[in-house]
Amino acid sequence: METVVWSRPESQRAGTPLLVMLHGYGTDEKRMEKLFGLLPDEFTCAAPRAPMVIGDDFGWFLLDYFLTNDFADVISATNKVHTWINSLRTGHSSVTLLGYSQGMAMASTLLRLHPEKYQAVAGLSGFVLDNELLAMSEQFPSRPPFFWGRDRDDLVINEDAIEHTARWLEENTALTARTYPGMGHSISVQEMVDVSAFLRHYVLKNP
């Protein structure tokens, strides 16, 4: 990835658990950087910038209001991120994913394609892609820990996407689901407290 913001200098990263933080559509890595201070200090946080230019910001793949996407674009972006993560993997004790909005679609797709490579996933105000090809290929040796946080009144993620996401997560993951009234399509401090507790339990206690 060409642009990445890190929570600590390279000299202090070796052996730490890596948390890759994927931003949403029409924003950039700075959205994730603001969360570094709300996460457990044990992690090295890395926030890459998505490669696709969306106006003055960035995205992982083109998306419309109905969350329609070109699956070839999704796979291309996912493979780029996975290759980049693999170049870092040996320097860390584990790799966990956190995705906000479209970043949750990316994080869950990475998990679906490479379930043995990721310790846990946190998805915030986002969705899981409804795709037959992914569904046909996914095989989980065990249910991966997955945190899903959202506001039930979030108007950005449509009801069909929410229903599919809930069904997929319940069928395939060890799900921790939380809702945050009044948060909207955003990330709250209370949500990050819960995410931190999730990461401590599933990653730091189970390296």
In 3D space, the residue among 101, 81, 77, 83 whose CA is nearest the CA of residue 27 turns out to be: 101
- Average confidence (pLDDT) over 183-198: 97
- Average confidence (pLDDT) over 132-144: 82
Query: For 95-107, how does the pLDDT look when each residue is reduced to its tens digit (9 = 90+)?
Result: 999 999 999 999 9
Place of tokens 């890190």: 6
pLDDT of residue 66: 53
98 alpha-carbon distance from chain centroid: 3
Strands 44-48 and 4-6: antiparallel
pLDDT tier at 1 (50, 70, 90 boundaries)? Answer: confident
Model confidence at 170: pLDDT above 70: yes
pLDDT of residue 67: 59
Which H, E and C letters describe 142-202, residue by residue? CCCEEEEEECCCCCCCCHHHHHHHHHHHHHHCEEEEEECCCCCCCCCHHHHHHHHHHHHHH
pLDDT tier at 123 (50, 70, 90 boundaries)? Answer: very high
Min mean pLDDT across 1-10, 41-50, 81-90, 132-141 is at: 132-141
Q: How far apart, in Å, are the Cα atoms of 171 and each of 69, 120, 127, 177, 195?
A: 23, 16, 15, 13, 21
Query: For 15-67, how does the pLDDT look when each residue is reduced to its tens digit (9 = 90+)?
Result: 999 999 999 999 999 999 999 999 999 999 999 999 888 888 999 987 765 55
Burial of residue 166, with CB atoms counted within 10 A of its CB: 0-12 exposed, 13-18 middle, 19 or more buried: middle
Which DSSP helix (H) or strand (E) runs through 167?
helix 159-172
- Average confidence (pLDDT) over 149-153: 97
Cα distance between residue 108 and residue 97, in whole Å:
9
Percent of the chain with pLDDT strictly greater than 90: 80
Domains, the chain, in order of start with CATH, read 4-9+16-204 (3.40.50.1820)
